[in-house]
Amino acid sequence: MVIIEDIDDTRKIMVGQNQKENETLCAEARKIFQSGTSVLWFHLADTSSPHGFIFGDNPSKENIYRAATLVKKYSKEKKTCNVKVNYLSIEHVQKTDTPGMVILSKKPSEIKV
């Protein structure tokens, strides 16, 4: 089940919990981005994890931290301290032929949660 958390009237966080949900959310994120809305993509650094997204313009540092925390919470690393979470605009996330796998065309920002 996709995790959805409303930030406010114009922004929300969504987190997939499996490959199929990650694929669906990535496709939805691309469409929303192409319509002119900002989308940030989140993923644990250097390991498999759910894909997380913030849909909406100008997310705050608190919004970014919350999205990173949710990605960690629904991963195998949920009990680990100081987990690195990568994030960047969906425009720099390229889908591959392998379900759930992506290639980043730009170095991501990183936050520890």
pLDDT digits (tens, 9 = 90+) for 50-94: 999 999 999 999 999 999 999 999 999 999 999 999 999 999 999
Q: What is the pTM of this model?
A: 0.93
DSSP annotation of 5: E
Neighbours of 84 (CB within 10 A): 16
CA distances from 77 to 21, 23, 98 (A): 19, 21, 22
Q: What is the pLDDT of residues 10-58, one digit of tens each?
A: 899 999 988 889 888 999 999 999 999 999 999 999 999 999 999 999 9
